[in-house]
Amino acid sequence: MSIGTFQMQLIITDAWLAKSRALHLSGLQLATVFLMAALVLMLLALGLYHWVFLKGARDGWPVVGALVKLVTKDEFEQRDRYLRENLDVMARRMGEMQAKLTQLESLGERVSSLAGVNPSEIKGTLGQGGVEVRGRELTLSEVQATLDDLERLTHQRTDLLTVLESRLFDRKMKSLTIPTQKPVVMSELGSAFGWRIDPLSGRSALHTGLDFPAPVSTPILAAAGGVVVVQEFHPEYGNMIEIDHRNGLVTRYAHASKTLAKKGDLIKRGQKIAEVGNTGRSTGSHLHFEVLVNGIFQDPQKFLMANQQQQGTQLAQIPQPMMNGRVSPGLSTAR
């Protein structure tokens, strides 16, 4: 090897020295070979170190196990301290969550009583559960058990509140479709529902609704929300509107001077649908208001009084039919 030129010549021969081969390496090539050899040795050393330590730690070799503990002692202590701090934080948060769930359960019971729902019928007895969060340190298994209990209780509360929401929404919709809104606000009741002397024929006849005397063009309001199913001129009812409120419940507004709602319109409670008039079989300007359940006339006063007496509470049920037969609009004595 020449030191000045940094070259190396390797002569390779076989076992019997019969053949030989010269290999010339420059300085750069020689450095590359040394680096590669060093890298291979480092990788082998790391692999051996890793294998020995892992196997020794798993199999419990005395010397290797002690070395592993010594090397990883600080790391384990730091990890354990970090885990303990997080467990303490989680324990405090779970205590707060349990307190809030208790408040939510109390609120759910109060709301369920308003909705007429027994909470125990939905998910059995909704008692409190979970690990008691005390001053001592919790273990990871206790934290996991508490989280499982909180998840179960949350599902129960969700089921209960979902049923309550559905029940209250259903009641709200029913209340909006029950005719408790007075159809003519600034008017006192004239003729009531029932048998009376007909003012035109002078004979006893059934008055199938309520009369609200009022000047012409006085607004007529929808007694409840629904869909207009009839908007026409009737020989006896004059200009009239019928609104379907579902479940066989229909309200009729007769003798209007002008109708504003049309067949198929979606109507809200209190919406102006017509104006008071004197059309049809009538002796003066007024609104004739009827309520029918499955085609059978009911006393509208029972619906209107329910709103006044209960101050907005729900109507428990629709009144039972007061007549055993149907009365054709053409034979009615509405005036």
For the chain, the structural domain boundaries read: 8-59, 84-176, 194-331
Quick one: which of 320, 309, 307, 313 has its CA closest to 179? 307
Question: CB of 319 within 8 A of CB of 302?
Answer: yes
- Alpha-carbon gap, residue 111 to 167, rounded angstroms: 11
pLDDT, residue 136, reads: 56
pLDDT, residue 184, reads: 96
In CATH, the architecture of 194-331 is Distorted Sandwich (2.70)
How many residues in total does the chain contain?
A: 335
pLDDT, residue 160, reads: 75
Q: pLDDT 10s digit of each residue in the chain, 335 long?
A: 444 455 666 666 666 656 666 666 677 777 887 888 889 998 888 887 777 766 666 666 665 566 666 656 666 677 777 777 777 777 777 777 777 777 777 777 777 766 666 666 555 444 444 445 455 566 777 777 877 888 787 777 777 777 777 777 777 777 778 899 999 998 889 999 998 887 777 788 889 999 999 999 999 999 999 999 999 999 999 999 999 998 899 999 999 999 999 999 999 999 999 999 999 999 999 999 999 999 999 999 999 987 665 544 444 444 444 443 344 343 334 45
pLDDT, residue 279, reads: 96
Q: What are the CA-CA distances from residue 239 to residues 42, 124, 200, 287 (Å)?
A: 103, 56, 19, 10
| The model scores a pTM over 0.85 | no
Question: CB of 266 within 8 A of CB of 258?
Answer: no
- Residues 125-154 have pLDDT tens digits of 444 444 454 555 667 777 778 778 887 877
- Summarize the chain as % helix, strand, coil (round to 5): 40, 20, 35
pLDDT, residue 44, reads: 87
pLDDT more than 70, % of the chain: 68
pLDDT, residue 174, reads: 74
